[in-house]
């Protein structure tokens, strides 16, 4: 939604950003009640990075090279090991 907001000049994507961040932080606060802080933040940032890269490819036709695929793969492996 940030990309679609065109530098915060379009109202509906801005509303989507605000709602999205609100939901994300609410869900993060719930997970922090029972899970360790480091695990939660590492998982949040790793998943956020992976989902952002996938969204760029699917919705904005961005290209991803071998290094990008390798990086995403390493993130996935790291998240599995961290949460396993």
Q: pLDDT (tens digit, 9 = 90+) per residue, 12-58? A: 999 999 999 999 999 999 999 999 999 999 999 999 999 999 999 99
Q: In the structure encoding, which two tokens stand for residue 73, read together? A: 């793969």
Specify whether the CB–CB gap between 46 and 78 falls below 8 A: yes
pTM of the model: 0.80
> Is the pLDDT confidence value at 71 over 90?
yes
> Is the pLDDT confidence value at 84 over 90?
no
Q: Where are the domains of the chain?
A: 1-34, 36-84
Position 62 scores a pLDDT of 95
Q: How confident is the model at residue 83 (pLDDT cuts 50, 70, 90)?
A: confident
């Amino acid at each position: 939604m940030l990309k679609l907001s065109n530098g915060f000049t379009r109202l509906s994507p801005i509303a989507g950003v605000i709602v999205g961040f609100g939901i994300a932080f609410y869900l993060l606060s719930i997970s922090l009640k029972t899970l360790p802080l480091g695990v939660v933040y590492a998982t949040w940032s790793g998943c956020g990075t992976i989902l952002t890269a996938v969204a760029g490819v699917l919705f904005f036709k961005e290209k991803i090279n071998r290094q990008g695929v390798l990086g995403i793969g390493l993130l996935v492996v790291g998240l599995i090991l961290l949460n396993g």
